[in-house]
Structure 1
Amino acid sequence: MATHSDELGAVPRSRQTLSRVPEVTLYFWIIKVLTTGMGETASDWPAHLLGPIPAVGLGVPYLMSTPFFLLALGVVFAIWYGCEKTLSIHSIRTRRREVFYWATVLATFALGTAAGDLTATTLGLGYLGSGVMFAVAIAVPAIAHRRFGLGPIAAFWSAYVVTRPLGASFADWMAVSSDRGGLAWGLGPVTLYWTIAILAFVGYLAATRKDVA
């Protein structure tokens, strides 16, 4: 496994230039949450305009799909670690590790989507309630890392999974109609607003280089 300093971004310059992912800072997490929210409304928008499109597995209950995707993520992690002996994103310097990374991203995307829909609809928390719950949940790995010695890699991936339902829950809350508990801003406007926010943060980081260790 990678060292404690690896996950916090304090890595040698030679390794920074070879790494294919950005440093993990507060801005990384803000942009990650914004992109998940924007991706949620952007993917829903065409479907909303075109009407329902039949899809295999669309009716599978979230109560069943969430553990399935959790198992899939576990399998990806097991294979990745079995082959590379590390799950650190700062060790992604080869094509094979990059493939493992993107497979993990896809698995976390599916798991996060299912988990968000599970809490919002099946468990009845609503989009705002789910967003608040996941906002609290994403702080747990950080506290566990700083206070109770949770490893940096485990803390990172635990938080990473939560970014998907966190961003999607708040994006859905802003977009859906008031009778569904939302602000009724619409999918198109929310997609635009979140895209602007993402570009603003990325532009700010490019200008200030605050995400550079």
Structure 2
Amino acid sequence: MVMRKLPHVTLMFWVLKIVATTLGETGGDLLAQTLHVGYLVATGIFLALFVVAVVFQLKARRFHPALFWTVIALTSTAGTTLSDYMNRTAGIGYTGGAIILSTGLAIVFVIWWRSGQTLDVENVATFRGELLFWVAILISNSLGTSSGDFLADSLGLGFRDSALILSAIMLLLLAGHFFTRINAMVLFWVAFVLTRPLGATVGDFLSKPRDHGGLAWGTMWTSATLLAVLIALITVQAVHVRRHPLTALPVPVRTGEPQQPNGALLLQDA
């Protein structure tokens, strides 16, 4: 048996994911735009922080809410600035950026599927599986910024209407989970990818000026508010995990050969 490294997919998981990705949008814009660091330098800073954080996550022996959600937030901030650099500075455009990142994400999922690792996040119990998970998260969170901007700007829907449309799609996916036989992993990953453009459009709606269709909270105040909410939710989850530890998982095998586990090994009673 191996200790879980990834959380159970519950309502708290989705709330934390949306808050973290929304913070990623406003936090990325805060550094790149408000503080005038620029997209390229900001991307380098956030990617460096992501690499440091994800190394600690990969080396951890069990699930640590603060560490896990820090990595998620950093994939969102890095994804925001990377996507904006591609789309704006490099001149690829929102549509081109969305196509490139969608193709990259599809390639990662094909590699993941061909590797024999489970795509069921709750049952990932190997180092290779977790590594593929984080690569997919980084690309999907970059894609989310491009797709959110594509909806809001290229299609002219605006931040508020784009957020409402994405929220409606999320509700349809929830209904599909409870009332249809659609594969649960497919529904999860579609919802997981869509939370990023949802966070991007909500973040832009809160922070952008009124003449751009936003509420004009500004990137600094919006980021500070979201950070406070995220810390509070992580604290709640950490207390819950301490009182009710996540159940361990059997170490998966492929072709009869054991794979390197990603969590602390536990002895199983006979």
TM-score range normalised by the length of the shorter chain: 0.7 to 0.9
Task: Tell me the equivalent position of 1:4.
Answer: none
Name the aligned partner's letter for residue 128 of structure 2: R
> Is this contact kept in 2: 1:141–1:150, CA < 8 A?
no
Task: Tell me the equivalent position of 1:123.
Answer: 155
In structure 2, how many angstroms separate the alpha carbons of the residues matched to 1:211 and 1:26?
16
Counterparts in 2 of 1:211 and 1:102: CA distance versus 1, 3 Å: farther
Tell me the CA shift for residue 20 of structure 1: 1.4
1:155 counterpart (174, 187, 194): 187
Q: Which runs of 5+ in 1 are unaligned?
A: 1-13
State the 4+ residue runs in structure 1 displaced beyond 6 angstroms: 210-213
Name the aligned partner's letter for residue 67 of structure 1: I
2:30 counterpart (45, 54, 68): 45
Counterparts in 2 of 1:93 and 1:115: CA distance versus 1, 3 Å: same
Task: Tell me the equivalent position of 2:109.
Answer: 77
Larger deviation, residues 150-159 vs 64-73: 64-73
> Is this contact kept in 2: 1:119–1:126, CA < 8 A?
yes
SS at match of 2:115: helix
Counterparts in 2 of 1:107 and 1:211: CA distance versus 1, 3 Å: farther
Name the aligned partner's letter for residue 143 of structure 1: A
SS at match of 2:129: helix
> Is this contact kept in 1: 2:31–2:38, CA < 8 A?
no
Task: Tell me the equivalent position of 2:138.
Answer: 106
In structure 2, how many angstroms separate the alpha carbons of the residues matched to 1:23 and 1:109?
20
Matches within 5 A, 1:26-45: 26-45=11-30
Tell me the CA shift for residue 171 of structure 1: 1.2
Tell me the CA shift for residue 211 of structure 1: 8.3
Q: CA RMSD in A?
A: 2.0
Counterparts in 2 of 1:118 and 1:86: CA distance versus 1, 3 Å: same
Tell me the CA shift for residue 54 of structure 1: 6.9
1:140 counterpart (172, 192, 215): 172
Q: Is residue 18 of structure 1 aligned with residue 3 of structure 2? A: yes
Tell me the CA shift for residue 162 of structure 1: 0.7
Counterparts in 2 of 1:211 and 1:126: CA distance versus 1, 3 Å: farther
